[in-house]
Amino acid sequence: MAAVPEKLEKVRDEMFRIRWEGGHVSEFPFRYLRQNCRCAACRDEFTGRMILDPESVPKDLKASKAALVGNYALAFAFSDGHGSGIYTFEALREICPCCAKAQA
């Protein structure tokens, strides 16, 4: 699956939208992104096991900032103070909410 973003867009304080090469559009609510954070504090780097309790993420979580990291990833500053997670485009493409749902 190609993970080349064509268009990146922060939709208000609520979600981040990515249009991928090929036309697929992914909409990531910030709470969802926060719950899928892959930083060392949220997920065990070696086993991949989640350390973060997804339910502990505030329901009204927002992101104040979204920034490009190089040309391969995004970083978000979340309203709960967490900001160490880096989301590669490949990982984002993988966790696309509509595609993840279709597979389940």
Using rule CB under 5 A, residue 96 touches Zn ion: yes
Instruction: List the interface residues with Zn ion, window 19-78 (CB under 5 A).
Output: 37, 39, 41-42
d(CA 28, CA 30): 6
* Cα 39 off chain centre by: 11
Backbone angles phi and psi of 89, in degrees to 5? -60, -35
Considering the complex, what minimum distance in angstroms separates the CB of residue 103 from Zn ion? 10
Question: Any contact of residue 98 with Zn ion (CB under 5 A)?
Answer: yes
What is the binding site for Zn ion (CB under 5 A)? 37, 39, 41-42, 85, 96, 98-99
